[in-house]
Amino acid sequence: MSRLVVVSNRVGPVKDAARAGGLAVALVDALRARGGLWYGWSGKTDKRSADHASIEETDNLTLATVDLTPREYKDYYNGFANRCLWPLFHYRIDLTAFDRSYYEGYRRVNAKFAHVLYPLLRADDTIWVHDYHFLAFGDELRQMGATQPMGFFLHIPFPAREVLAALPHHDAMVRGLFAYDVLGFQTERDCERFRDYVVREAHGIADGDTLHCFGRSVVIRAFPIGIDTEGFARIAAEDKDACRQYDKVTKALAGRTQIVGVDRLDYTKGIAERFHAYERLLQEYPDARRQVSYLQIAATSRGDVLEYRQMRDELDGLSGHINGTYGDVDWTPLRYLNKPLPRRTLAGLYRASKIGLVTPLRDGMNLVAKEYVAAQDPEDPGVLILSRFAGASYQMPEATIVNPYDTKEVADALQIARYMSLQERRERFEALMKRLKVEDVARWRDDFLSTLAAVPRRRPISAAS
Ligand code: ADQ
């Protein structure tokens, strides 16, 4: 089997992959099995521009990382990736910074990453590139002469044609993607949107799942990412920390129904809309007061981007308002924490929560929805309320699917979930779990890599000309 090279903005963790979760474990397992190389940003900045990678060998896999200069960090990472592509691909044109210097910085960093990786490559490597930080990376590597099979997986949604067209360099971006052999998306919907752009905007030709455009061909397919379903279910049921957390929370709830939300603090996750929906539940269904307790865990992310700081202020205000209006000396309606929690703790919290509230405004997949279901007690499972705009909703139709913008609909769904019969909860849970066990993270990884392995090899440029 050829060596696997994974390229992603951040590498690892490797030694402690289990603590980071399913995706890290799935990649580390594949890398170890194939004596692999994991390549990306070190997470550090240095004023001197790096022209080579720092290499670290750990059992049967190699980590190669590159520092960014403060300017590269500003333009490529905070700028184009997080203030332009992230909001735009999540349909937030209003928050998108169309700054040309960000785009130029992004191209420069993609080229730099390609130049540093190229000498480390072997002729028979298989290269798997991840996410929106590296849309232009494959093109840069091909321009240097790389002929290895190269696939790309987009973890976030691919936007509708008209939305993408708002990006000044949309045509160059899509042309660059044709340097890859396989393009993987989270859902069929994302594939359709990509196909629509290529056919109607770039006048390419679709032939089954192969697209021909710009004199090149690429296979596009949906590979919905999963979790380590059985492993997570086991943690929730048996792990010491998870069980301790479950017992502690259940005792403190004293018979109240816990609603749980777990997110990165991000405007795409719909947390403010969720707070409004919860307030509406308390307003319109007085019997819910004192009987429910909503726990929202929102780990701060991208704190140096203005929009994220503003959102944090807004959520602080909203949670204070809800607790001030509805709370009592012995009841806090909303507990809102700005910190990441260990996976084992999360597993226990999910299991202790009779309602999982996962209502992003847009999300590539959303793994919290899957983790919530996997953590439930099969004898007495909770109810998942899931946004129709999460990629996960296509694989999880037995969840209660809602429109996250419609606070009345979400409030009603919460009220219905409170009273859902055990039989209905079990039926929904069993159908969801059955699919989650089959469509897990190992299957996602293996499907992607076998699709890439089946694509015919490119001939070296010299042989083709
Ligand atoms: P994210 O936007 O980060 O990822 P998501 O899939 O919801 O989103 O979560 C990824 C992981 O982070 C989950 O395992 C979750 O448990 C963990 N997590 C979230 N909040 C946490 C917290 N407060 N404390 C601890 N852990 C927390 C991107 C895309 C998603 C896509 C994933 C994977 O935006 O749509 O599902 O990649 O492809």
In this structure, are residues 28 and 36 in contact, taking their beta carbons and an 8 Å threshold? no
Mean pLDDT, range 65-84, rounded to an integer: 96
Give the chain's domains with CATH numbers.
Answer: 4-226+443-453 (3.40.50.2000), 229-438 (3.40.50.2000)
Question: pLDDT averaged over the chain?
Answer: 94
Flag the least confident range among 78-87, 244-253, 451-460. 451-460
Question: Residue 155 catalytic?
Answer: yes
Query: For residue 211, how far is its CA from the centre of ligand 1 (angstroms)?
Result: 30
Distance 21 CA to ligand 1 centre (A): 10
What span, in angstroms and rounded, lies between the C-alpha atoms of 281 and 402? 15
Mean pLDDT of 367-384: 98
Q: Give the whole-number percent of the chain exceeding pLDDT 70.
A: 98
Which tokens in the block code for residue 72? 């590269």
pLDDT tens-place string over residues 246-299: 999 999 999 999 999 999 999 999 999 999 999 999 999 999 999 999 999 999
Q: Where do we find the tokens 């596009």?
A: 220
Question: How far is residue 420 CA from its own chain's centroid?
Answer: 30
Q: How many CA atoms lie within 13 A of 437 on its CB side?
A: 10
Among this protein's residues, is 363 annotated catalytic? yes
CA dihedral 244, 250, 252, 257 (to 10 degrees): 150
Check 29, 46, 99, 155 and give the catalytic one.
155
**Which residue's CA is the nearest one to ligand 1's atom 24?**
340
Question: What does the pLDDT look like over 10-68, one tens digit per residue?
Answer: 997 787 776 677 688 888 888 888 889 999 999 999 998 888 999 999 878 999 999 99
Q: What is the pLDDT of residue 65?
A: 96
Expressed in angstroms and rounded, the spacing between residue 425 Cα and the centre of ligand 1 is 25
Give the model's confidence band at 408: pLDDT under 50 very low, under 70 low, under 90 confident, else very high. very high
Q: Is 333 in a helix, a strand, or coil? A: coil
Protein residues whose CB sits closer than 6 Å to any atom of ligand 1 = 21, 155-156, 225, 262-264, 297, 299, 340-341, 346, 363-368, 371
Place of tokens 């963790």: 13
pTM (2 decimals)?
Answer: 0.96
Residue nearest atom 21 in ligand 1 by C-alpha distance:
263
What was the pLDDT predicted at 77? 95
Q: How far is the CA of 373 from the centre of ligand 1 (A)?
A: 15
pLDDT of residue 460: 57
Out of 91, 241, 367, 386, mutate this one to test ligand 1's pocket (max ligand atoms within 8 Å of CB): namely 367
Q: Quick check: 447 pLDDT over 60?
A: yes
CB 135 within 8 A of CB 153: no
- High-pLDDT (> 90) share of the chain, %: 87
Q: At 461, list the tokens.
A: 């440029």
Stretch (H or E) spanning 307: helix 306-326
* Rounded CA separation 352/256 (Å): 11
Which residue owns the Cα nearest ligand 1 atom 22?
Answer: 340
Residue 174, CA distances (Å) to 114, 163, 308, 341, 401 in order: 18, 13, 28, 37, 32
Q: Residue 303 above 90 pLDDT?
A: no
